[in-house]
Structure 1
Amino acid sequence: MLTALAIRDVVLIEALDLEFGAGLGVLTGETGAGKSILLDALGLALGARGETGLVRQGAAQAVVTATFEVPARDGEVANLFHQNGLELEPGEPLIVRRIVKADGGSRAFLNDQPASAGLLRELAPHLVEIHGQHDDRGMLNPRGHRALLDAFGRCDPGPAAIAHKAWRDAEAALAVARAEQDLAERDREWLEHAVAELKALAPGAGEEEVLAERRAAMQRGEKVAGELQGIAELLDGSEGGLSQLRQAARVLERIAGDHAALAEALAAIDRAIGEAAEAQDRVDMAAEALAFDPAVLEADEARLFELRGLARKHRVQPDDLPVLLEELAGRLERVESGGAGIAKLEAVVADAHRAYADAAKSLSALRAMAAARLDAAVATELKPLKLDAARFRTVVEPQGEAGWSSFGMDRVEFEVSTNPGAPFAPLVKIASGGELSRFILAMKVALAEEGGARTLIFDEIDRGVGGAVASAIGERLARLADTAQLLVVTHSPQVAARGARHLLIAKSHDGTVTRTGVTPLDAAARREEIARMLSGAEITDEARAQAERLIAA
């Protein structure tokens, strides 16, 4: 709901602050007083083009600030904020500010956060509907007709939406399976060869590392084998050092008692024999550990080269060959059993298609019944609004499969025929300005609380009518104001008398500058204004009495 509108330096308005409430508010004033300026200013806040001609002469910029109360349940406004990286706390007012500079360019803010004019235009349908002489939005936009009909008829598109998603998901899975099958069929021969080659090699996890380490160990043994043999001969051969030490020890044992030094020499040689024997044992242990079978080394090297060669062929690491074998074997298996799998998926798609078609047809039947009720409801409103020759119909037309969506299979559009025998056509294309507004009013009354913005503005809906028709318009506007905030720019006293609040738009001139102002009217001033509307320039007592009767009606 629009709660406040602040205007600075827009055309003839220097500074204006207005507050609005629920129910029906009327704006009146003489022709040329500047009622359209108010709508132009509000249009700026709703994303209209920022024309520099809107800036008051002599001012640097025009500023319009509109404040809205957004119901907590209105998730669409919150979603638009979130999608554009803006914040809107639940329950806080929505403040839209638009600045247009005299030298060109404009800026927009939502709750003091910079925003684009495009975002304002996206928000506008959720905030205000303006129905004027040249309006082509709101209920005149066929894209919103289906939602309005569904809300009116309590037609729930949920089951169709769920069925539509299941159908599309099944189709997507089938498409993926077919693409894989086509690709796999092209690669069947290669797959068969690759799987056979990998199975024949039977690579093991971590096998390359084991083979590489074992091969390196055997290569080291091969390199030092000759040296170890030479060491063994030097230590323990017939002429080796250990043998000669033992011979010396035997000689010393016979003569050690002849001198103390000989006994010490014997002890030293015994120690040397022990150390040399230990060295011999260590050399023997190393020789045993480094011993290798040339046939085993050759076999390991051949296996290692095969693993690495096949890994290079498939552009993977050797340790990844077992995983590759499993993957390629799975692809080959899918190729061989792919036909059966695709047949199953095709059956799933067919079942999902039927389920969606059944849900969509049920939805279409509900819409057809709702359309009949809506047509009848609108028809009852047309005659009192001097549209008795017109006919209204809601087209619910099944579309081809290409047009099926989560909202069902129907195209929904409101159409009218304004004269007997004239063909039906979209409302905006065949109705005149006054007829257009009255058609919108009839449809709004029939739809009552269903859909649309919570603030409605009707610009001169009573153009070209008077008397009973104007009274009917006023009565319906008042009825509609029970469920939405209405602002009506009117020249009809019958409509003005129905307002809960009355704003007078007037132009003043101080000899130099012309200004447009807006004044809230109290009960007495309101009676005078309605009397002026009834009688013209000279307000008579009879006009005042008639104004009293209209207000009291």
Structure 2
Amino acid sequence: MLRGLDIRDLLIIDRLELEFQPGLNVLTGETGAGKSILLDSLGFVLGWRGRADLVRAGAEQGEVTAVFDLADGHPARAVLDEAGIPAEDELVLRRINRADGRKTAWVNDRRVSGDVLRALSDTLVELHGQQDDRGLLNPRVHRQLLDEFGALGPQVGATRAAWRDLSRATKALDQARADLTAAQAEEDFLRHAVAELDALAPAPGEDAELDSRRRLMQAAERIGEDITKAHQALSSGEGAEARMGDALRWLEAVADQAGEALDPPISALGRALAELGDAVQGVEAALDTLSFNPHELEVVEERLFAIRAMARKHQVAPDDLGGFAEDLRARLDALDAGVDAIAGLEKDVAKALTHYNSAAALLTQARVTAAKALDKAMSGELAPLKMERAVFTTEITPMDAGPDGCDQVTFTVATNPGAPSGPLNRIASGGELSRFLLALKVCLTREADGLTMIFDEIDRGVGGATADAVGRRLAALSLGGQVLVVTHSPQVAALGDHHWQVQKTVSQGMTLTNVTPLDAPARVDEVARMISGDTITDAGRAAAQELLDG
């Protein structure tokens, strides 16, 4: 509920502090007194897009502060939570418009964007007038309004869930088909590459092993001759081993005669012969290693070059060829299994489509039932508004499937029997349109949920008993909530719970707008002015008092 509105230096307002109340609040005043300025100011602090030149002439900036009461569970609390603003029982919106056009806004002293203000305004205030393109006259929201009227949230939720399942299944099928098409385009390559790799069968580490073996065989021819010479020098009849053996035998033969003098050289020769034997064995082993069939080098080089050529072909390291082959085989397996997978996904899509069609059909059926109920309710509301001959119809026509079903909902009217029906804003005249909108709002509003409803001259073009009927509908709409009405109708004004008079005054050459709450006597005078004009007569006061007494 809107509790307070503080306006400073906007248009022709220097300072206004308004305290609104629950129930039906009426604002009256002469044409041009500035009633629309109040709505402009409220729209400004709520982030609505409107006129840019709001700052009062001579002022550096204009400012509007609006204070709302928030009940527990109010929808605005969810918006505050999403914006990271602590929610309290009191919500304070403040917005400044500087003379250079810059705008700054705060919510509970937290600086916010215009988007946050507009998101909050959707939960706080609803404006209706004869050009109500933000609400009831907008065909794009008629389906939503019908769903709210019929309490079709569960059916809409089920349809949206089914649509999400269908969308996911369709996306998975489309992706599988695209993958299969791409795989089929490279099927020949995959099968040929796997066959080549399987035939080659490279092992991890084989490239390094072959390269080492090749280098050794290439070097064997160069070093083999020297190793053979070394072997001959060590082990032949004239080699070191034979000569050292002769020396050892000669020394041992005379060792007894020399005493202990030959023991050390004999011991050293024994050790040297043992080491020499090891050296000979090592050289022989090296000769065995270097011994190879000349054809073997060709075989090793052919294998090594084949592995490296395959690695270059597929742009992978030689040791990664095995893993690469596994990846190709996996893609082939996926290709072979693709047709079966797609068949399964097609079944999933068909199942999801059946489920969606069922949910959408139930939603359509529920909407048809709700539409009949709304048409009946509208018929009951139009009669007291002196439009008993008008026909309101909620049309439901097929449209492309979507998350909210397959129904296009349009509110149409025929103002006279036999006349063709059409959209509200094209068929009804100004006064008729006002009453249609009011009747719709009465039917569609079950619970205000803390929403402040504003009606801007919605009674324009009607008078007498019809204006009285409009006022009584507004009063009924305000029960348990808050309705603000800008009106020129004395019948509507007389039914208000609270009354403000908007006046334009000139002081020291400056035109200003003032808003004054009216007590009972002042209210009689204001309603009398609305009845009789500038000159208030006793008859006018009497008529005003009669209206106020009900």
Give TM-score scaled by structure 1 length. Answer: 0.86
Question: The residue matched to 1:384 in structure 2 has which SS?
Answer: coil
273-282 or 485-494, which deviates more: 273-282
Q: Secondary structure at the match of 1:238?
A: coil
Q: Paired residue for 2:444?
A: 447
Q: Provide the residue aligned with 1:213 in structure 2.
A: 209
Cα deviations by residue, 1:53-99 (Å, 9 ceiling, x for unpaired): 322111122222334455664668746984xxx42334465544333
In structure 2, C-alpha distance between the alignment counterparts of 1:364 and 1:373, rounded to whole Å: 14
Q: Does 1:193 align with 2:189?
A: no
Quote how far apart the aligned CAs of 1:139 are: 1.7
Aligned Cα root-mean-square deviation (Å): 3.4
Q: Which residue of 2 aligns with 1:521?
A: 518
Separation (CA, whole Å) in 1 of partners of 2:534 and 2:242: 148
Distance 1:268 1:2, change over 3 A: same
Spell out the pairing of 1:286-305 with structure 2 (5 A cutoff).
299=299, 301-305=301-305
Q: Is the 8 A contact 2:76 2:124 kept in 1?
A: no
The question of whether the paired residues in 2 share the 8 Å contact of 1:55 and 1:62 is answered with yes
1:216 maps to a residue whose letter is: S
1:19-64: CA deviation from partner (whole Å, max 9, x where unpaired): 3343322222233221111011122223344645322111122222
Aligned residues of 1:434 and 1:464 also touching (Cα < 8 A): yes
Compared CA separation, residues 475 and 451, structure 1 to 2 (3 A)? closer
Structure 2 SS opposite 1:409: strand
The verdict on how the C-alpha distance between 1:395 and 1:340 changes in structure 2, with shifts beyond 3 A counting, is: same
5+ unaligned residues in a row in structure 1: which ranges?
A: none
**Distance change >3 Å, CA 247–CA 17, structure 1 → 2:** farther
1:329-372 C-alpha deviation (Å, 9 max, x unpaired)? 34444545544443443343333323322221221111111101
Which of the residues 122, 129, 133 maps onto 1:132?
Answer: 129
C-alpha distance in structure 1 between counterparts of 2:410 and 2:493, whole Å? 33
> 1:265 deviation in Å?
3.1
Q: What is the Cα deviation at residue 220 of structure 1? A: 4.1
Change in Cα spacing, 1:158 to 1:48, as seen in structure 2 (3 Å) is closer
Pair 1:27-2:23 in alignment: no
**Is the 1:208–1:307 Cα contact (8 Å) retained in structure 2?**
no
Change (3 A) 1:222 1:494: same
Task: Describe the shift of the 1:9–1:223 C-alpha distance in structure 2 as closer, same or farther (beyond 3 A).
Answer: same
In the TM superposition, 1:350-389 aligns within 5 A as 350-389=350-389
Partner AA of 1:26 in structure 2? V
Aligned residues: 544
Distance 2:121 2:53 in 1: 22
User: Which residue number corresponds to residue 65 of structure 1?
Assistant: 65
Q: Distance in 2 between matches of 1:406 and 1:198?
A: 50
**Displacement after TM superposition at 1:130 (Å):** 1.4
User: Is residue 170 of structure 1 aligned with residue 169 of structure 2?
Assistant: yes
Pick closer, same or farther for the CA change 1:396–1:222 going to 2, 3 Å: same
- One-letter identity of the residue aligned with 2:32: G
How has the CA–CA distance of structure 1 residues 71 and 432 changed in structure 2, closer, same or farther, with 3 Å as cutoff?
A: farther
SS for the counterpart of 2:9 is: strand
Q: 2:46 corresponds to which residue?
A: 46
- Measure, in 1, the Cα distance between the counterparts of 2:80 and 2:410: 26
Compute the displacement of 1:414 (Å): 1.1
Change (3 A) 1:259 1:324: closer
Q: 1:318 to 1:269 in 2, by over 3 A?
A: closer
Query: What secondary structure is seen at the aligned counterpart in 1 of 2:325?
Result: helix
Moved more, 410-419 or 120-129: 120-129
Q: CA deviation at 1:446?
A: 0.9
**Is 1:477 aligned with 2:474?**
yes
- Cα distance in 1, alignment partners of residues 72 and 238 from structure 2: 107
State the alpha-carbon separation in 1 of the partners of residues 68 and 297 from structure 2: 86
Q: Does 1:250 align with 2:276?
A: no
Give SS of 1:154's match.
coil
In the other structure, the counterpart of 1:181 is: 180
The 3 A distance-change label for structure 1 pair 22 and 265 is same
Q: Which amino acid aligns with 1:209?
A: G
Deviates more, 1:230-239 or 1:29-38: 230-239
Q: Deviation string for 1:87-112 (max 9, x for gaps)?
A: 23344655443333334443444555
Instruction: Give, in angstroms, the shift of residue 472 of structure 1.
Output: 1.8
Aligned partner letter, 1:514: T
- Helix, strand or coil at the partner of 1:137: coil
Question: Which one of the candidate residues 415, 421, 425 is aligned to 2:422?
Answer: 425
Q: CA deviation at 1:404?
A: 0.6
Q: Could you tell me which amino acid in structure 2 is paired with residue 194 of structure 1?
A: A
C-alpha displacement of 1:507: 2.3
Counterpart CA distance in 2 for 1:125 and 1:395 is 26
- Contact 2:389–2:416 (Cα < 8 Å) also in 1: yes
- Checking the alignment, whether the CA contact within 8 Å between 1:497 and 1:530 is kept in structure 2 is yes
Structure 1 pair 260/344, CA: closer, same or farther in 2 (3 Å)?
closer
Indicate the residue corresponding to 2:464 in structure 1.
467
Q: Note the C-alpha offset of 1:269.
A: 3.1
Specify every segment of 5 or more residues in structure 2 that has no aligned partner in the other structure, as ranges: none
Point out the more displaced range, 347-356 or 37-46.
347-356
Q: Secondary structure at the match of 1:385?
A: coil
Residue number in structure 2 paired with 1:392: 392
1:424-475 Cα shifts (integer Å, max 9, x gaps): 2221233343333321110011112268981211011222333322222222
Deviates more, 1:336-345 or 1:454-463: 336-345
Offset of residue 483 of structure 1:
5.0
TM-score (norm 2): 0.86
User: Quick one: structure 1 residues 417 and 320, their matched pair in 2 at CA, closer, same or farther if it must change by over 3 Å?
Assistant: farther
Q: Is the 8 A contact 2:77 2:87 kept in 1?
A: no
CA distance in 1, matches of 2:58, 2:36: 21
Once the two structures are aligned, what percentage of the paired residues are identical? 47
SS in 1 for 2:31: coil
Q: How far off its partner does 1:411 sit?
A: 0.3
One-letter amino acid of the counterpart of residue 469, structure 1? T
1:131 deviation in Å? 1.4
Is 214-223 or 493-502 further displaced after alignment? 214-223
